[in-house]
């Protein structure tokens, strides 16, 4: 047995080649803490393990730590809003606001001028009104919660008319018919899968009709022999019958993606302008902000949502509100909007991606620059890939290389096609390039 004074110094362990790489995984503070805990343990038990044994134990502690944590991943898939990888990365401004508000007290529900209780939602509401053209707005935990709140408020014990071509399941098992059932409403399906006419809605109206509901088909589309009813026609019918139209827009674009060479995706403003009473959408899809469910619409309808006791169970916290408000402020000009990572990624030119790919192939001998296709993801424009550039790692062992990339620190998630492992640069921030190159070099070693 060795003497306690033979225990290695913390800095020597921090720099040990078997331990130092964990810094990228768990951060320096956690690494130091793991080392110090192991040294304390040795001192406490008066048993000094051999150096290699000590290093192995520290590695074990860090492994356990890493398994408990959310870890950063480099997204080389080319799918910008990748639900499994956390959807929209946040803008620096949004993160700074969340950090500042989260690290102390705030005026979350306090009116500093009056010295009295204020509204949690007031500030973000005015930004949402500005961004959508709606009279009023409300924020809950996610879009699924927003839909649930709408149905619970307006349709409990009553009927909701939905077109058959919009009764879809989106990812994560969210099915409109199931949510309807949970909220105590009765679904009235109209039309055929491919063809729906206004008269189908008209015939289904009854004294028990609470709402007519539209839902974005997300990752699903019907082509060919089809007919649909547009929101304006439905709103006109609803006005005659005294039945509000509500819409689950899902992705919730605040701007026309045509600016980025993509097909026009219905925007929140379009739905509001068509007279839809309540429009629900996500905060972390095309808005590019934190996870949230946003409802915008007519003031009396939002007021009814606000008075539903269920809102208390769906309410968002201060970090979300701070990050959402800052994200919305960035929409005031195209230039500031591109500080939202989603829009920086959409706006990156193929030439700029190609130039960055050059840095990869300069360092990685086997790598090639290839043309690729990126996708928006998040249920928006599922069929529409748009031009991108990838770094390809050719070779017979694509599965093995991809697995090694995923096991790296940080993990890099890539795509595989007949050209090999593809790392799409569209979804990698330029600041991450050095890290991604090192991850590839490690995986190929
Ligand atoms: C994504 C999506 C939802 C769910 O949104 P969350 O914010 O993840 O709850 C609901 N409806 C549609 C149409 C969607 O695309």
| Residue 2: per-residue pLDDT | 62
Tell me, using a 6 A CB cutoff, whether residue 251 lines ligand 1: yes
Mean pLDDT of 350-367: 97
Q: Dig out the tokens for 23 from the structure.
A: 């810094």
143 pocket-lining for ligand 1 (C-beta < 6 Å): yes
For the segment 25-55, what is each residue's pLDDT rounded down to a tens digit?
Answer: 778 898 899 999 999 998 988 888 889 888 8
Q: How far is the CA of 267 from the centre of ligand 1 (A)?
A: 15
Per-residue pLDDT band for 387 (boundaries 50, 70, 90) equals very high
Mutational test site, ligand 1, from 170, 175, 290, 381, max ligand atoms within 8 Å of CB: 170
Nearest CA-CA partner of 79 in 427, 433, 431, 411? 427
Rounded to the nearest integer, the mean pLDDT of the chain is: 92
pLDDT digits (tens, 9 = 90+) for 63-112: 777 777 788 899 999 999 999 999 999 999 999 999 999 999 999 999 99
Ligand 1, residue 215: give the atom nearest the CA: 13
Q: How would you label 265-280 residue by residue, b for 16+ Cβ within 10 Å and e otherwise? A: bbbbbbbbebbbbbbb
Q: Is the pLDDT of residue 410 over 90?
A: no
Give pLDDT tens digits for 201-246: 999 999 999 999 999 887 778 888 888 899 999 999 999 999 999 9
Q: Given the CA of residue 176, which atom of ligand 1 is nearest to it?
A: 11
The CA 132 to ligand 1 mean position distance, Å, reads 18
Whole-number Å distance, alpha carbon 91 to ligand 1 midpoint, is 21
Q: Please check the confidence at residue 186 and state whether its pLDDT lies above 70.
A: yes
Q: What is the pLDDT of residues 244-275, one digit of tens each?
A: 999 999 988 999 998 888 888 899 999 999 99
Beta bridge partners, 175, equal: 169
Ligand 1 atom, smallest distance to 219 CA: 15
Q: Is the CB of 379 under 6 A from ligand 1?
A: yes
pLDDT over threshold 70, residue 445: yes
Query: What's the pLDDT score for residue 418?
Result: 95
Question: Any residues with CB less than 8 A from the CB of 215 and at least 6 apart, and which?
Answer: 162, 166, 167, 168, 176, 247, 248, 250
- The atom of ligand 1 lying closest to the CA of 217 is 13
Which residues does residue 389 pair with via DSSP β-bridges, in sequence order? 371
């Amino acid at each position: 047995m060795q003497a306690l004074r033979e225990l290695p110094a913390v800095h020597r362990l921090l720099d040990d080649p078997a331990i130092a790489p964990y810094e990228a995984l768990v951060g320096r503070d956690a690494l130091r803490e793991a080392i110090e805990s192991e040294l304390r343990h040795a001192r406490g038990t008066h048993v000094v393990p051999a150096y290699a044994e000590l290093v192995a134990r520290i590695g074990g502690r860090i492994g356990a730590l890493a398994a408990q944590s959310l870890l950063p991943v480099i997204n080389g898939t080319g799918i910008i809003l990748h639900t499994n990888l956390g959807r929209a990365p946040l803008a620096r401004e949004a993160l700074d606001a969340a950090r500042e508000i989260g690290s102390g007290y705030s005026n979350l529900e306090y009116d500093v001028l009056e010295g009295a209780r204020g509204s949690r939602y007031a500030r973000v509401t005015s930004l949402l009104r500005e961004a959508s053209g709606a009279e009023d707005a409300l924020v809950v935990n996610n879009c699924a919660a927003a839909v649930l709140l709408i149905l619970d408020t307006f349709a409990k014990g009553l009927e909701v008319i939905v077109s058959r071509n919009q009764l879809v399941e989106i990812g994560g098992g969210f099915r409109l018919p199931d949510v309807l059932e949970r909220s105590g409403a009765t679904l009235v399906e109209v039309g055929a899968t491919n063809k729906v006419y206004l008269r189908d809605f008209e015939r289904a109206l009854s004294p028990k009709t609470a709402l007519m509901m539209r839902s974005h088909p997300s990752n699903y589309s019907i082509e060919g022999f089809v007919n649909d009813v547009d929101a304006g026609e439905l709103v006109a019918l609803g006005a005659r019958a005294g039945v509000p139209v509500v819409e689950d827009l899902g992705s919730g674009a605040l701007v026309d993606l045509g600016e980025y060479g993509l097909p026009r995706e219905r925007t929140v403003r379009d739905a509001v302008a068509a007279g839809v009473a309540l429009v629900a959408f996500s905060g972390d899809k095309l808005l590019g902000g934190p996870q949230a469910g946003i409802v915008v619409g007519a003031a009396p309808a939002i007021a009814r949502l606000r008075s539903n006791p269920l809102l208390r169970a769906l309410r968002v916290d201060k970090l979300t509100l701070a990050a959402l408000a800052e994200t919305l402020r960035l929409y005031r000009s195209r230039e500031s909007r591109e500080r939202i990572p989603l829009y920086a990624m959409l706006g990156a030119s193929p030439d700029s991606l190609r130039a960055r790919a050059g840095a990869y192939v300069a360092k990685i001998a086997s790598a090639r620059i290839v043309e690729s296709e990126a996708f928006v993801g998040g249920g928006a424009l599922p069929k529409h890939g748009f031009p991108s550039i990838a770094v390809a790692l050719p070779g017979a062992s694509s599965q093995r290389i991809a697995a090694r990339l995923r096991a790296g620190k940080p993990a890099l998630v890539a795509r595989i096609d007949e050209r090999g492992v593809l790392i799409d640069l569209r979804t990698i921030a330029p600041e991450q390039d050095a890290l991604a190159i090192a991850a590839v070099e490690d995986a190929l070693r």
